Structure 1
Amino acid sequence: MTGNDINTPAHKRDLTRRKVVVAGGAAVAAVGVGGTLAATANAGQSGKGAGASASASSTSAETCYKLTSETTEGPYYIDADKLRTDITEDKEGIPLALRVKVIDAESCKPLKNVAVDIWHCDALGIYSGYEASSTGGGGTAPTDAPSGTPTGEPPSGAPSGAPSGGTGGGGVHEEPTDDERYLRGTWKTDRQGFVTFRTIFPGWYRGRCVHIHTKVHVDGEWTDAGYEGGTTCHTGQFFFDEESVLASAEVEPYSTSTTERTTLTEDTIYDQSGTTGGLLKLKYDKKNIAKGVQASITVGVDPEATNEGTSL
C-alpha cells in the first residue's frame, strides 16, 4: 500500500452539524464461526455519533455517522498480501465473527469493493510477523503501547520506545522478523459495504487495552499477489468493552496470561467516544463466551482523504 501521511481533503467536510439519520431497517447476514456461531450484522450501531439502531424488520436502512476516529497504525502493520476472510489459521482462542460496514461519512452511502485490512495479536499478546519482538504473557510490548497507562508492573519485560499521549501516539513501523501471517487479512466490501472476517477474540499486552487494527483502502487494484495501489483513507482500531474482556480472561488460553491488563478507560489510544471511536457492538452468551462472539461496527470514512496513521 502506498500513500502519504494525513493530508487535508480536497474539500472540507462539515460533520459538526450532521444529524443522525435512520431510514429504518437493517441488513442481516449470517456467517458460521467454528461451527457454533452465526454472525448477524446490523446496519445500525450504538454509541456516540449514532442516534439509534435500525430495526431488523427491513433491509433498506442506512445509519449516518460522523467520521470514525483515526488512530495510529502501530509498528506491526504488514502490507495487504493475504486476501482472505478467515484469518484464524491454527491460533487458539474464542471464535470471533467481525462484521464491518464501510460508508461514506458525508453521503452515508455504502462503499463497495474497497479493501479492509485487519490485524491483531493472538490470545497471549503476540503479533504474527513479529514474534521475536514480543513474547506475550508478561513480556515486551509492541511499541504502539503508550506509556504511563499500565495499572501495575508485569512479571518481566518493559515496553521499548512507548510513546505518550492519546491518539497522537504511535510506534514507528518495524520490519517483520518472521514469515508468520496468522490473524491478518484483507478483503473487499460487498455492494452493501459489508465485509466479515472470521478470527479469534484478541488478547492483550502491556500498555494497551484489547483491540484490533484496521485500514480502509480505496481505488486500488485486486491482483493475485494482493491489493495494490490506491489510497488509504482510514486507519483505526476496534475496541472491546470491559465486560467482554473480563469474560474472555476466564477462558484458556487467555487465562494463562500473566500480563497486567490496561482497561478501556485507561487506554490512551481509544478516545472514549463509543462507536465513533471504534467501540464494537458485541453479542455473545454471557454465561459462556467461549462459544463465540459476534462483533459489528459501521465505519464512516472520507474516501477522498489520505489517512495512513503513521504520523498521528
Structure 2
Amino acid sequence: MTMTQEDVRPDGTASRRRVLAAGGAVVAGAGAGGLLATNAVAEAAPAGTADSTSTTGEVCYRLTSESIEGPYYIDADKLRTNVTEGKPGIRLALNIKVIDSETCRPLRNAAVDIWHCDALGVYSGYESTGSGGGSGGGPTGGPTDSPTDTPTGGPGGGGGGGGHQEPTDDTRYLRGTWRTDHQGRVRFQTVLPGWYQGRAVHIHTKVHVGGAWTEGGYEGGHTCHTGQFYFEEEAVLAAAELTPYSTSTVTRVTLTEDMLYDQSGATGGLLTLHYDKRRIGRGVRAFITVGVDPDATHDGDDGGFPGGGSPAPSPSATA
C-alpha cells in the first residue's frame, strides 16, 4: 500500500539511544539514608495506562517481556490503523505507547505491527488451517518445532519462534502496521480477538526502529521488540456471552493457564481495559506502554516460555 506524503513524513535517521549513567539516577532524600530511584520520578500514573509515561511524573518501565513470533506473522504489507475489514466482533481501540525503557523517552516514527485471530480463532492468511464458524475454530495445522521457511523481508527482517508458516491465502484482515507519533503513540482500530486451542486471548506485536518511512512504506531498520498483549479474564468472560464469540465450541485457556504469558501484569503485556461491564458489546478501549531497548534486536526467536520450560503438546501451542 502506497502512503502519501501527508500520511507519512520520511525519516531515514536511526533512532539514537541515550543511556543514562548510574550517577544520573534521581535521588530523593528520605530520612538518613535517602531513597534511590533509578531513572524514575515520584508520583507516577498507574502502570499500563496511556498516561503512565507522559511529561512529568513518569516512571521508566522495565523492558516489556519478549515473546515468540508464532507461525502466523506476515510482513508489513498493510500500512493502516483500521484493520477490521468488516470482521464481526466487539470493537477494540488499541492504544500503544512505545518508549525507551531506560530513558523514558518516546520512540518516534517506529513501525508497530499488530496481528491476531478473529472472533472465532482464525488468522487471516491462514484460513485453511482453521475451520472457524464456531465448529472448532482456530488454527489446527500446528507449527513444527523449527521454522520451515525463512520469512520474506519486511521491517527488520523475519523472526521465527514457533515455526513460521507461509500464508495459505490472500486474506489480510486484523493485521496492520503504522508509525508512532512524536509521543511514541499509535492507535489501531480492530476487534476483540477470540480464542483457539491451547492459548488465552492475545494480540501479537512487533516494534521496528532504525528504518525509513518512504512513499512505499517502511524500509530497513531492525525489530527491537516482539511481544504479545493479553486481556483480563473478566472482559473475556463478558465477551464470551455475545455473538460471534458465544458460538465457539473451543475450550478456552485462561490467562493463568496460558503457556506464554509470564503473569507479570503490564510488563508481560497485560492491557489496561476501559469498558462498560454491563455493555461490553459497545466497545473496549485498551492501553499499554511498551518499554523497549531500541538498540537490541528481538525478532521473536528469543522469547521463551515462563520458567524456561516447553509448552504442553497442542496443535497451536506457539501461535
The residue type equivalent to 1:248 in the other structure is A
Q: Is 2:20–2:103's contact at 8 Å kept on the other side of the alignment?
A: no
The Cα shift of 1:25 comes to 7.0
2:102 to 92, 106, 113: 106
Question: Within 5 Å, which residues of 2 pair with 1:106-185?
Answer: 106-136=102-132, 137-139=134-136, 141-142=138-139, 159=142, 161=144, 170-185=161-176
Cα distance in structure 1, aligned partners of 2:135 and 2:38: 44
Q: How does 1:82-101 map to 2 (within 5 A)?
A: 82-101=78-97
**Residue 94 of structure 2 corresponds to residue 74 of structure 1:** no
Deviation at 1:170, TM superposition (A): 4.3
TM-score (norm 1): 0.75
- Cα deviation for residue 139 of structure 1 reads 3.5
Normalised by the size of structure 2, how large is the TM-score? 0.74
Distance 1:109 1:90 in 2: 36
Q: Aligned in 2, Cα 1:199/1:141: closer, same or farther, shift over 3 Å?
A: closer
2:246 to 233, 241, 255: 255
* Structure 1 residue 304, shift from structure 2 partner: 0.1
Q: Which amino acid aligns with 2:90?
A: I
Question: Structure 2: 5+ residue runs without aligned partners?
Answer: 1-16, 23-36, 147-159, 304-319
Say whether the 8 Å CA contact 1:87–1:183 is kept in structure 2: yes
The question of whether the paired residues in 2 share the 8 Å contact of 1:234 and 1:308 is answered with yes
Rounded Cα–Cα distance in structure 1 between residues aligned with 2:93 and 2:137:
28
Pair member with larger Rg = 2
Deviations 1:229-273 (A, max 9, x none): 100000000000000000000111000000110000000100000
> Which digits, 9 at most, give the CA deviation of each residue in 1:86-132, with x for residues without a partner?
01111000000000000000001111110110000000000001111
Match of 2:182 in 1: 191
| Inter-partner Cα distance in structure 2 for 1:19 and 1:273 | 21
Structure 1: 5+ residue stretches without partners: 1-8, 27-40, 46-53, 143-156, 164-168
State the percentage of identical aligned residues.
Answer: 62
Q: Distance in 2 between matches of 1:309 and 1:126?
A: 21
RMSD (CA atoms) = 2.8
> What is the CA-CA distance between 1:18 and the residue it aligns to?
4.5
TM superposition outliers: structure 1 runs of 4+ over 6 Å? 11-14
In the alignment, is residue 239 of structure 1 matched against residue 230 of structure 2?
Answer: yes
The question of whether the paired residues in 2 share the 8 Å contact of 1:22 and 1:64 is answered with no
Specify the alignment match of 1:273 in structure 2.
264
**Distance in 2 separating the partners of 1:177 and 1:158:** 11
Aligned to 2:280: 289
Contact residue 13 and residue 106 of structure 1 kept, 8 A: no
Mapped partners of 1:12, 1:260: distance in 2: 47
